[in-house]
Amino acid sequence: MTDFVKRIVIKARFTSDDVDFVSMQRGWILQHHQKAEAGASIDIWVTSDRRTEIHQVDDRHIGTRYFTLRGPGSREVAEHIRQDCELWSISEALGELERVRARGEKLICIYAAALAAGEGDGERITQSFRDLVRDPDAGIRQSVIIATGYFPYPGLVDLVRDLRDSDPAAHVRKNAQILLDGLSVGK
């Protein structure tokens, strides 16, 4: 099946049980439950016409769940998901990121923004993340590296290069280099 390139990011308060309810209401057929893949847990459904796969990824490394869709009915299923579920938009994630102060809330917004970002959001997310690479918390700076792995926009990759070259924390510099090495392999 053809991949649908946009991720649809689920808010934490919309539980897996809520997603299961939506799947039953929409007539999705469960194919795999909590399939382990790359440290994530994935539930996979197929629509009743078998044209579209719905993947709910529980990415425990970043504490975020999101949908990816595959198949010719992806746009229609995406619209159903938007109607039925509580989701992050890029605008909401970046807006919240400006307002929140607590580390955990910042991390949620950083990952939600990167996962929800599309082609046209690169400059906007780069501007927002530019302040984060100067955050005194190494974990926040590290999250920019991880988020860039999900949305490797050139401006974000430049921020990761800056972290590699000048971050005060050795583990942040090292992880920035690991991401940059990984991105160069994919070219």
Each residue of 63-76: pLDDT tens digit? 999 999 999 999 99
pLDDT > 90 in the chain, percent: 90
* Per-residue tokens: 46: 């197929």
What residue has token string 């924390």? 169
pLDDT grade, residue 38 (50/70/90)?
confident
Integer angstrom CA distances of residue 38 from 8, 94, 146, 169: 19, 27, 14, 26
Strands (E), the chain: 8-10, 29-37, 40-46, 53-59, 64-70, 87-88
Q: Is the pLDDT of residue 5 over 80?
A: no
